[in-house]
Amino acid sequence: MQKQFTTDTTRLLLNYYGLKIRFGQDPENQLCTDDFAGHWAHNANLSVKAIMGVAGYSEMAHMLGLDDVAEKYAGIAKKMAVKWEEMANEGDHYRLAFDRENTWSQKYNMIWDKMWNLNLFPNNVISKEVNYYLTKQNRYGLPLDSRKDYTKSDWIMWIAAMSPDQNTFEKFIIPLYKYINETTSRVPISDWHETKTGKMTGFKARSVIGGYWMKVLIDKVQNKQ
């Protein structure tokens, strides 16, 4: 059914990914799901999302036997990833926005590069980011970015799933466990909380908590490969 759906919508998808190629490398004025601290253009994580979308189109084309199309878009995604690394590079980590020096953010959209074993991003980008995040954690988790101390716990789980081993994975999970266990906010799990106080910032009992299962998904997918 999935393959038939993809076949029936190939032309529509082609138009969509054409837009990703045109505008996704350096998003000029696009909204982001993490705009709580204000909207910034040139969002590096949003650019990663576009790059992985192009790579995803390549993977779907490969599933349909359209190998020439798959090769074309895989090449485009790789070139975009290489350019991304150059644009976002801040030495020991990568920027929140391409034009903002001395910033950082969770690049959780890179999880799909690991999930699909594509290795699009050069120079150990994921390893560099994960190592940097470990230096930025507070008692109750990794902040969403350099602007505020609050975080989104579902994205932390995605970041944790990007870890190279179980030990590193647990370094991200233990602060999150402490938040859930020690928070004084007596509501169903809030996915938006303060990493220093452990208090709820907003939201409760949302379906995004499904993102907590990212490690289970990536292990399942990769064990089939």
Q: Do residues 130 and 163 lie in contact, with contact meaning Cβ atoms separated by under 8 Å?
A: yes
Q: Which residues contact 120 (CB under 8 A, 6 or more apart)?
A: 51, 52, 55, 77, 78, 81, 113
Task: Indicate the SS3 state at residue 117.
Answer: coil
**Which pLDDT band holds residue 5 (cuts at 50, 70, 90)?**
low
The whole model's pTM is what? Answer: 0.91
CB 205 within 8 A of CB 187: yes
Residue with tokens 């976002």: 88
Q: Residues 42-56: pLDDT tens digits?
A: 999 999 999 999 999
Strand, helix or coil for residue 165: coil
Tell me the CA distances in angstroms from 209 to 43, 71, 90, 145, 206, one per residue in order.
24, 35, 31, 20, 6
CA-CA distance, 66 to 49, in Å (whole number)? 23
Of 5, 110, 136, the closest CA to residue 47 belongs to 110
Q: Which long-range contacts (CB under 8 A, 24 or more apart) does 15-18 make?
A: 17/53, 17/54, 17/57, 17/73
Q: How many residues in the chain?
A: 225
Report the C-alpha gap between 142 and 152 in whole angstroms.
9
Q: Are 51 and 81 in contact (CB under 8 A)?
A: yes
Tens-place pLDDT, residues 84-114: 999 999 999 999 999 999 999 999 999 999 9
pLDDT, tens digit (0-9, with 9 covering 90-100), for 161-193: 999 999 999 999 999 999 999 999 999 999 999
Tell me the one-letter amino acid at 108. Y
Helix, strand, coil share of the chain (percent; to 5): 55, 10, 35
Q: What gap in Å lies between CA 34 and CA 36, rounded to an integer?
A: 6
